[in-house]
Structure 1
């Protein structure tokens, strides 16, 4: 059976979900992995979401703690909150103590992609601070390095780093992921699939 890769996102305005579409495209390019998309449970009520003009939630299932253990590799996508994952993501991870106790995620591949409001909004520190969650679960962090030429492009602003794909949304959310940012996300998915297959012995 082909190894399973989960792409799990939290996105308020849709930027992260656009990156996720390209990540999935990259995962599917290599063949040999089963890809499933999920979203983190929302903790804000509908009144607040309406007040902040949040985008409609995608038509994908919410991830559950028990489901998480089925994956051979997991890519997490989310916007930054003061250099860390948002509360919705942290609340879910706080509920995975049972998986930690059983080492259910041990040896599985993990990676991240992200969105910030500004060019210097903490993309790298968001990824590095999130890595402690993977380390405590015994997961294998899979970065993308600088193999993608777009990460060294100085002709325009490009989100992302060696830690993972990223986009810059602007303070009002008006900037959408660029073609180069989407290409980096696709590259991340493709390279992640290769690592997952190696770890699974496929």
Structure 2
């Protein structure tokens, strides 16, 4: 069985969640897990102006995916920052390039999921994940979220991300907040749970 964690990250928050998702997925025996990123679409000059160029160097070694890579996996978990309550344009551009896969039904029956980061607690975590879910449904994927079996999303003793639709983190308005241990635990749980579901579906 093979699982892909595919992400776009501006300042590294979504990448950090992606690595936690991958770590959880690797706990499932016999599961090969790859982490890939979608192409950057912003010009280098703008990335430098917003302070993202240096941050992205930390994960420049992560291979860049092509739409046709998706057919090689049993489970695909998509990660994106939120832009005005919706999917970041870089991830959307990648998904817009999967029309050929859709026409062939190449992703039908594969397991899918999503995770996000937002600047604020109510900055669109759920709307962004649900937007991604809509696109994955159009591809015929079987969607897996982050069930309340993971009790971390019921915590009220600290500010935390985590939704039943998928893992999330709160980055702060300037990206100053890193994912908390609770949020990373949610991501690991989602990765493992998604891989477990994919493993069951892959059995003859």
- What is residue 5 of structure 1 aligned with on the other side? 3
- What is residue 184 of structure 1 aligned with on the other side? 186
* 2:122 equivalent to 1:120: yes
Aligned partner of 1:42 among 40, 43, 46: 40
Equivalent residues of 2:146, 2:186 under 8 A apart: no
Equivalent residues of 1:75, 1:112 under 8 A apart: yes
- Please state how far the C-alpha of 1:56 moved relative to its aligned partner: 2.0
- What is residue 102 of structure 2 aligned with on the other side? 100
- Please state how far the C-alpha of 1:21 moved relative to its aligned partner: 1.3
Alpha-carbon deviations, 1:143-181, whole Å to 9, x = none? 112111110011001101001110000001000000100
* Structure 1 ranges of 4+ moved more than 6 A: none
In angstroms, what is the RMSD of aligned CA positions? 0.9
- What is residue 33 of structure 1 aligned with on the other side? 31
- What is residue 162 of structure 1 aligned with on the other side? 164
- What is residue 88 of structure 2 aligned with on the other side? 86
Alpha-carbon deviations, 1:81-110, whole Å to 9, x = none? 112111111111111111001000000000
Q: TM-score, normalised by structure 2?
A: 0.96
Q: TM-score, normalised by structure 1?
A: 0.97
* 2:197 equivalent to 1:195: yes
Distance 2:22 2:97 in 1: 26
Number of paired residues?
A: 200
